[in-house]
Amino acid sequence: MKELLTEIAGLKRHNANAARPHLVPKSLVLTVPVELLSRIDAALEVEAPAEPLYYLQDSRSFTGNCPLWWKAGGNGYTTSLEKAHRYTLADAMKQHQCRHTDVPWPCERINALRRLTVDSQDMGSVKKQAAQIRAEYAAIQIVKGLEA
């Protein structure tokens, strides 16, 4: 497609009113060779929609309210859709037929339900945070008292 655009940009344009230069051109005419038009049409043809993809949920358990999805390569489970494997329906159904608790869900449907969440495992110690925020607050109060 990039090659086509480069070729189109290199075509000569001419003023439709070139014989009457005193007129403001209503349009510029672009002369495009028929062979190039065929190539443009072929490049712009709408492709058949891709086969829908599916996430595979291990429905035996959840992490909090989050479902567990099969990871890419079948390497465990994840709650992150970015890390979840996307299967064709045939591949998802093969696994579902082996273990009925592995349930295929259309990616389009699940992606529409996604929202940002925070994994509590990434937050660090709650006790350390509580101690740190109390110390910060106390320091702010001392500075405010000195300023008054």
| Per-range mean pLDDT, top range of 8-17, 24-33, 50-59 | 50-59
Is the confidence at residue 136, as pLDDT, over 80?
yes
Tell me what percent of the residues of the chain surpass a pLDDT of 70: 70
Query: In this structure, is the dihedral angle defined by the CA atoms of residues 19, 24, 27 and 31, taken in order, positive or negative?
Result: positive
Q: What's the average model confidence in pLDDT over 124-133?
A: 91
Residues contacting residue 132 through CB under 8 Å, at least 6 positions apart: none
Beta-carbon contacts of residue 73 (< 8 Å; ≥ 6 apart): 85
pLDDT at 24: 46
| Backbone φ, ψ for residue 71 (5° rounding) | -75, 160
Prediction pTM value: 0.54
**Chain segment 70-89, per-residue pLDDT in tens:** 998 878 999 999 999 999 99
